[in-house]
A and B are shown apart, each in its own frame.
Chain A
């Protein structure tokens, strides 16, 4: 293969290791199946169809691939949860809802490299025994829905989708299903309800683990776009070789999406855990804007807990225990979890010292209050209450006690809801308050200490 050239200004950073994003912004690249096949596309699919399905799952297990949608659950292990002796149809769903604030990676795959996703999906469907697969695409990607459907037609014409794929006897249909602008459809059981044509109210787990009771109450594997693309590369490299990328228990590459206050925001595909926070922000992204300092970072989508730039963390146990600074954090699932946050969906939002934390918190609270599906009371009421409280902090009418109330509300949601949205909405509040309490309290007026807006209005009226 000749040396790959990228579009001017879009060249990968030297620290990148591109598998999934190899063709993104590539010169001379387009979404057609001819271009994809001229580059070795669908070779792994042909190979997969000659293998035992179980052998593919085993390769994925060996690779150590962990889901890139948010929770970081091992993909091969998830596939193994389909009940043995199952007689119902099995479904594969590709989660392309990409709606966690700060995340923008799946977008480029479905717009620029649709066949990579299809190849990953057909291999995965064959491994889990699915004959029907859906791509759940967020409504706000209208162009991608067209691109993917066109690519599916091309793949069908070449015999990679449909009946008796490539003469193997394996049948698979893939359909694009568009959502309608609701974040909760990213949650896998909400997604399934939505795909069934109902309001996307998440189901309670247990018992509704999709791998056993998913779409139409049949076994269903839900995987993120990026996770499914990795499957193709795992077959190409072999699970063992793939596992050599990255670090122990955090293998392979992943796409970090950096936004906010850095000179060069963007997407960077790196080996998991091989880069520290300092290297990512200062070397890869060019550091903070001129004259500014990094104040804090939200490391894995807006629901992950914020990290202060001046924090230190105790990680590891026993002999391995050590103290590290914010800048030394290795960007992998386990290190970020040990620092009290999470790698989540890979959306890194950088905030500099010009940002007020009350404003940041309020923006986040508006998102979750808008997106709660409303099914359970702590989340529905709590998210709105949190929004109202932070509205008051921002508009200067909050009492110092309101900070405490806000924190209490967050802890009343966390762990008490049907789905993980409860944590997603309360973690940012808990973390921002615990790490920036003084700054928030300074914004509440001491003079207004015991007076609400209504009380103040009343006082003003009486003083007339």
Chain B
């Protein structure tokens, strides 16, 4: 696949979540963070592609085309190598999520514990159209841009099902009746 076709594939669509993230910029801080990570891989710079993409996503909410170009230049590889990684991993987003991104585990033990009901309730509370959530649209952002939801696969805490992540915070035993309290604990 040519770089051009791939670029069209990963072209970021605007979402209401964007207001919460600064546009991509390779500031001195970002450069320093990246250089520190690259040091961990003396054998091959390319190995730092995941860590660099994590830095980008952490600071800017998602991986934009500009960010891909920056990572590629930083690692002295073709942008297509970075693009192919971004498009593979479910952990990398190409559109901005909400300010609070909910990842609800949908795998067996959590589903048995009621995680699908949790997702339905979260969508209701946050004004997200549940029917939009699908294989092709794994992330849906609320119209106000404050919330987004996504299903996750087994989060390795099946004994305390159902579980979810809100940004980087982990929550266990979140049955649907606890959804409102959870949402309330993250005031936009």
Contact = CB atoms under 8 A, between A and B. Distances in A.
Our verdict on whether A and B bind, yes or no, reads: yes
A143 to B, nearest CB: 7
B47 A104 contact: no
A414 interface: no
Contact of A194 (B50, B152, B157): B50
A251 interface: no
A183 B153 contact: yes
A180 interface: yes
A178 B153 contact: no
Interface stretch (B85-93, B126-134, B176-184): B85-93
Interface stretch (A16-24, A54-62, A255-263, A403-411): A255-263
B107 A103 contact: no
B25 interface: no
B144 interface: no
Contacts of B85: 197-199
A313 to B, nearest CB: 23
Contacts of B23: none
Contacts of B10: none
Interface in A33-67: none
Interface stretch (A115-123, A242-250, A327-335, A359-367): A359-367
Contact of A259 (B44, B81, B158): B158
B19 interface: no
A106 B44 contact: no
Interface stretch (B1-9, B27-35, B94-102, B108-116): B108-116
A258 B159 contact: yes
A183 B152 CA distance: 11
B186 interface: no
A366 B47 CA distance: 30
In the complex, which range does the number of interface residues on chain A fall in? 35 or more
A392 interface: no
A382 B148 CA distance: 31
Interface string A190-216: 000011111110000000000000011
A349 B49 contact: no
Nearest to A360: B108
A215 B161 CA distance: 36
Given A140-B152, A175-B40, A267-B159, A181 B108 contact: no
Interface in A4-38: none
Nearest to A97: B156
A102 B153 contact: no
Contacts of A257: 158-159
Interface string B36-49: 00001111111111
A179 B51 CA distance: 8
Nearest to B43: A216
A308 interface: no
A139 B91 contact: yes
Interface in A267-302: 267, 298, 302
Nearest to A183: B153
Contact of A260 (B88, B103, B106, B112): B112
Contact of B109 (A99, A101, A194): A101
A121 to B, nearest CB: 15
A197 B50 contact: yes
A347 interface: yes
Contacts of A98: 156
B156 A104 contact: yes
Interface in A167-181: 173, 175, 177-181
Given A259-B109, A363-B108, A99 B156 contact: yes
Contact of B153 (A141, A259, A298, A370): A370
A118 B40 CA distance: 17
A152 to B, nearest CB: 11
A3 B104 CA distance: 39
Given A100-B154, A104-B158, A200-B88, A179 B50 contact: yes
B84 to A, nearest CB: 6
Contact of B47 (A89, A103, A197): A197
A199 B81 CA distance: 9
A142 B159 contact: no
A215 B81 CA distance: 18
B90 A101 contact: no
Contact of A180 (B43, B90, B152): B90
Nearest to A102: B158
A107 interface: yes
A194 B112 CA distance: 32
Contacts of A74: none
B84 A197 contact: no
Interface in B33-91: 40-51, 53-54, 75, 81, 84-85, 88-91
Contact of B158 (A132, A349, A363): A349
B168 interface: yes
The listed residue with most B CB atoms (<10 A of its CB), out of A89, A140, A257, is A140
Given A101-B107, A143-B170, A370-B153, A197 B49 contact: yes
Nearest to A101: B154
A340 interface: no
Contacts of B92: 180
A175 to B, nearest CB: 4
Nearest to B46: A197
Interface of A: 89, 98-104, 106-107, 132, 138-143, 173, 175, 177-183, 194-200, 215-216, 257-261, 265-267, 298, 302, 347, 349, 351, 355, 360, 363-364, 366-367, 370-371, 373
7 contacts: A100-B154, A178-B54, A179-B50, A215-B43, A258-B159, A349-B108, A370-B135
Given A180-B90, A199-B85, 18 more contacts: A99-B153, A102-B154, A104-B156, A177-B51, A178-B51, A183-B153, A196-B44, A197-B47, A197-B48, A197-B50, A198-B84, A199-B88, A259-B158, A265-B160, A360-B108, A367-B108, A367-B154, A370-B90
